[in-house]
Amino acid sequence: MTRARKPLMCISVTALFLAAACTDPSYVNGTDPNQKAKQGAVMGGLLGAGVGALASDKKAKGAIIGGVIGAAGGAAIGSALDRQEAELRQQLDDDVQIVNTGDRLILTMPQDILFAVDSFTVAPGLRGDLLKVAQSLQRYPNTTVQVVGHTDSDGAASYNQSLSERRANAVASVLMDGGVPFNRIRAFGRGEDQPVASNLTPAGKAQNRRVEIVILPNA
């Protein structure tokens, strides 16, 4: 067998591992509480195998080593996100939507409960939830945080952009008040540019008025 074909075999083995994982009943039905961790391990293995194959002179051996390292790293990231997600679901109000994509957590807070109309002062009732998020971020320090403000399309686009930035900064300030270091947080606004629903109905506009807290594991 030629050297050129060895890395392809290693990557193919990893691909078979991915196929096996996807046919596992708990994977298909979404009942496995560690599903994101397993997905992270699989994806980490695929990435690591590819990187190892490219980086090593002995390509086949490099692919195997890279796959093992990548799988371990991906599993660790996925497991940490699973734990943090479960804790936040127990601690936060039901109005806060939490999505675990496997490589990040996205917390979505409707602006209608965070702020009064045209205000960028965080409502006292939601400040407690944000401080709980800050405590969680301190328990999981190997992450960075993006705080992103969004608005509906009512009013001038320039005003909406400014309002979204001020609201994102207000949420970030509460997180920092809760002990999260400044260098872990980036706050910015998207104005009306990234709607998740139609701006033609009141219900759609309410969904578009939101602040997202995106928790990203460090590489």
Instruction: Kindly state whether residue 70 falls inside one of the protein's structural domains.
Output: yes
**Pair 56, 151 in one domain:** no
Q: What is the pLDDT of residue 127?
A: 94
Instruction: Kindly state whether residue 80 falls inside one of the protein's structural domains.
Output: yes
Query: Could you give the number of structural domains in the chain?
Result: 2
Instruction: Kindly state whether residue 141 falls inside one of the protein's structural domains.
Output: yes
Q: Would you state the structure tokens that stand for residue 56, as one six-digit string?
A: 């090593």
Query: What's the CATH code of the domain at 134?
Result: 3.30.1330.60
Instruction: Kindly state whether residue 131 falls inside one of the protein's structural domains.
Output: yes
Three-state DSSP state, 186: strand
**Pair 120, 138 in one domain:** yes
Instruction: Kindly state whether residue 176 falls inside one of the protein's structural domains.
Output: yes
State the Cα–Cα distance between residues 158 and 6, nearest whole angstrom. 56
Q: What is the pLDDT of residue 38?
A: 54
pTM for this entry: 0.69
- Show the beta-strand stretches assigned E in 71-158: 97-100, 105-110, 143-150
Which candidate, 179, 163, 172, 164, places its Cα nearest to that of 145?
Answer: 172
Instruction: Kindly state whether residue 69 falls inside one of the protein's structural domains.
Output: yes
Consecutive 10-residue runs of the chain (219 residues): their mean pLDDT?
A: 47 44 44 56 52 52 48 70 96 93 96 89 93 97 97 96 97 98 97 97 96 94
Residue whose token pair is 């050129």: 4
**Pair 144, 211 in one domain:** yes
**Pair 213, 114 in one domain:** yes
**Pair 59, 127 in one domain:** no
Instruction: Kindly state whether residue 41 falls inside one of the protein's structural domains.
Output: yes
Instruction: Kindly state whether residue 29 falls inside one of the protein's structural domains.
Output: no
- Show the beta-strand stretches assigned E in 62-219: 97-100, 105-110, 143-150, 185-189, 210-217
Q: What is the pLDDT of residue 70?
A: 47
Domain boundary among 71, 91, 111: 91
- Give the contacts of 97 (CB within 8 A, at least 6 positions apart): 107, 108
Domain that holds residue 50: 34-91
Three-state DSSP state, 168: helix
Q: What is the pLDDT of residue 30?
A: 47
**Pair 111, 195 in one domain:** yes
